[in-house]
Structure 1
Amino acid sequence: MIQKIKARLAFLNLRKLGALTLFFMCINLFSCKDDKPKTATPSTGKINSLSIVISDQLWNGEVGDSLRKKFAAPVDGLTQEEPLFTITQLPVKILDGYKTISRNVIIIKKEERNFFKFEKDQFAKPQNVVHISGNNVAEIIAHIEKHGDSIADKFKETEILKNQEIINQSLLDDKKIRDKFKVSLKIPSTYKYVMSRRNFVWVKREILSGNTSLVIYKVPFKTILKDDDVVTNIIEMRDSFGGKHIKGKNPNTRMITEESYSPYFFSTILDGKRTYETKGTWEMKGDYMSGSFINYAILNRNKREFIIIEGFCYAPSTDKRDLMHELESIIKSVKFLK
């Protein structure tokens, strides 16, 4: 009898042990599933678009004015006024049970807490989400004024990367550029070589209303740094190369920098190298053609020279912001070969 009781107890213990083992196996199974990376929802939106979640009352008042001043300001260097971002206003109630998957989002709320926060990939990827709240209009505007420029820079950086991702889907063979200038560029295959000289390469993309172009050449160190007037030196340089290589349809026409407007000038870094960025408008001397340009003069200290990469467009009946943004995205893909 005692032996039967002991055997029965041993059997029950084995059943408990088996149940516990199964329990922990299930926990481990679900834990493993939870540990697996979840696929992020792809963000959406056209290039240079921005969604602002805000009440109509705030949007139609001083807060909306402050937002438009920062994020719909005219883009530098275009022949006509076009906004930095194309803004879509969305009501706050859209957040109730819904996650916005726009690439760039600003959420404005009037509530008790005075708050600013930047979230990366909160609802989708890639995505920038900016949360701003305040107890009153003055507090909200203070956040926009304080952080607006850095927010815009971050949005622009994301849009450059998105454009480069699109460009990378089909690329032009840049061997000619590599061989001549020892740099690589990721250029869409929609561009074609139209000129290749010893120290000058020109590629062009035809569009319905005109064309967009990239030119690459190099100049000695002293061409740009011969004195303190760097901007004037860059303009003289681009007018010299434009006049030599880029002509109009009529005889004795040549590309020059628009004489009526001063260009915009900035210093930046490309591929770790000091770079001068110049934006403005060009015209065809002796003709009626004109358009926008963006010029990057990249300093190569080792060879005491500048690599010049310039994008320009001719699109008289088309908005030029996104055309110039594509050219900027291409230029910022530059890599110096070792």
Structure 2
Amino acid sequence: MKALYSVLFCVLLLACGENKEDNSIYLPESNGILNSISVVVDNQLWEGSVGENIRNIFAAPLNGLPVDEPIFIMRQIPPQVFDGFATRSRIVLKIEKGGTEATTKIANEVFSKPQTVAVVRGKTNQDIIAQLKQTKDKIIDAFNKEEVKERQRQINLSLLEDEAMENKLGFTINVPFGYRISKATEDFFWLRKNLDNSKTIELMIYEIPLETISKGDSTIVDFVKMRNGVTKTKIPGEDGIFMEVQGDYAPALFNTIIDNKPAYEVRGIWRMNGFTMAGPFITYLIEDKINNRYLVGDGYVYAPSLEKRDYVFELESIIKSITIK
């Protein structure tokens, strides 16, 4: 039975990889909490060096949080019980030891839909570990895209009416109901969502000229200067208090794509100058060459005593829904 199941898995994996549009095979709906990986791996491998490397890669601290929280949470499933309901996880990492060639394959809609499955295979433990290290960025990116799609699906069930903001800045964005627009000008919008008491998730949408941010070694310096200027002038506090990028925590800068356009992703920590408040921020600067601007989606969280990864992920999913008109 186990051999038959392995053959079926290989057939499905190849079919999904070669023809993603083939919907002739019925697949059940996937499930699972956001950013949770089902790791299908033998107990002995999980408890040894292979499992240690899996945890070091996929449960590494997420960039830009004040307290360490993992990129993903993980649930280990022995291969012999990976059947039925267990196969419906939305993101799956499957480790296979054996064969002659070390490979990593990523496929969609293998056991359920939507779903992303990464299969890492190696003849020895060292082969598997080498594959994990070589392809970790590709696997994490594939899993992240799947989870962003799921969060966006949830968001789209009930949306904020924000057409006035979209028309003024020439874009569309899907913001969930529960946010409110606290400030609106011709080129700056400030949205807020209350969590409880004074805890909030906040999102700024604005535009800056392309020449504001130089490409190269000074990109992050230009970004910090720009963001500090925006928060100081657009959302100042009382008695000269204002938000700024925390100077002793260097923001992390990444290149990405949003709406098929180059974009910068910046993750870091903000603080209040003159008051004891701080938290994580996530900013995307989307290059809009036609309009000679960066359209900026800039979100931040104030939630002391609460874990913040999921709130930052919500902001990421909202901003990644942007399309420029």
Q: Report the TM-score, using the length of structure 1 for normalisation.
A: 0.84
Q: Is 2:52 the partner of 1:82?
A: no
Classify 1:71/1:218 alpha carbon distance in 2 versus 1 (closer, same or farther; 3 Å). Answer: same
| Cα deviation 1:177-218 (Å, max 9, x = unaligned) | 212210111000111111112221011111136111110111
The residue that corresponds to 1:235 in the other structure is 224
Within-5 A mapping of 1:44-59: 44-59=31-46
In structure 1, what residue type is equivalent to 2:188? F
Can you list the C-alpha shifts for 1:99-121, whole angstroms capped at 9, x where unaligned? 51101111223334545333321
CA distance in structure 1 between the aligned counterparts of 2:126 and 2:216, rounded to whole angstroms: 47
1:324 aligns with 2:316: no
Instruction: Indicate which of 49, 52, 72 corresponds to 1:65.
Output: 52
* Structure 2 spans left out of the alignment, 5+ residues: 1-21
Asked which structure has the greater CA Rg, the reply is 1
For 1:1-338, list aligned pairs within 5 A: 37=24, 39-95=26-82, 100-116=87-103, 117-208=105-196, 210-225=199-214, 229-248=218-237, 250-337=238-325
Distance 2:83 2:65 in 1: 40
Distance in 1 between residues matched to 2:47 and 2:203, nearest whole Å: 41
Does the 8 Å contact 1:70/1:149 carry over to 2? no
* Aligned-residue CA RMSD (Å): 2.1
In structure 2, how many angstroms separate the alpha carbons of the residues matched to 1:326 and 1:162? 11
Q: Residues 99 and 123 of structure 1 are in contact (CA less than 8 Å); yes or no, is this contact kept in structure 2?
A: no
What TM-score results when the alignment is normalised by the length of structure 2? 0.87
User: Which secondary structure state, in structure 2, belongs to the residue aligned with residue 87 of structure 1?
Assistant: strand
1:16 corresponds in structure 2 to: none
Instruction: Output the amino acid matched with 1:203.
Output: L
Q: Aligned residues, how many?
A: 302
Distance 1:301 1:84 in 2: 32
CA distance in 2, matches of 1:225, 1:111: 49
Secondary structure in 2 aligned to 1:291? Answer: strand
- Comparing 75-84 with 214-223, greater Cα deviation is found at 214-223
SS in 1 for 2:119: strand
| Cα distance in 2 for residues equivalent to 1:308 and 1:131 | 36
In the superposition, relative to structure 1, how do residues 211 and 223 fare at CA in structure 2: closer, same or farther (>3 Å)? same
1:173 maps to a residue whose letter is E
Q: Secondary structure at the match of 1:294?
A: strand
| Alpha-carbon distance between aligned partners in 1 of 2:83 and 2:222, rounded to the nearest angstrom | 56
Question: How many Å apart are 1:225 and its aligned residue?
Answer: 3.3
SS at the partner of 1:166? helix
Shift of 1:139: 1.9
The aligned amino acid for 2:98 is: E
Identity of counterpart residues, as a percentage? 36
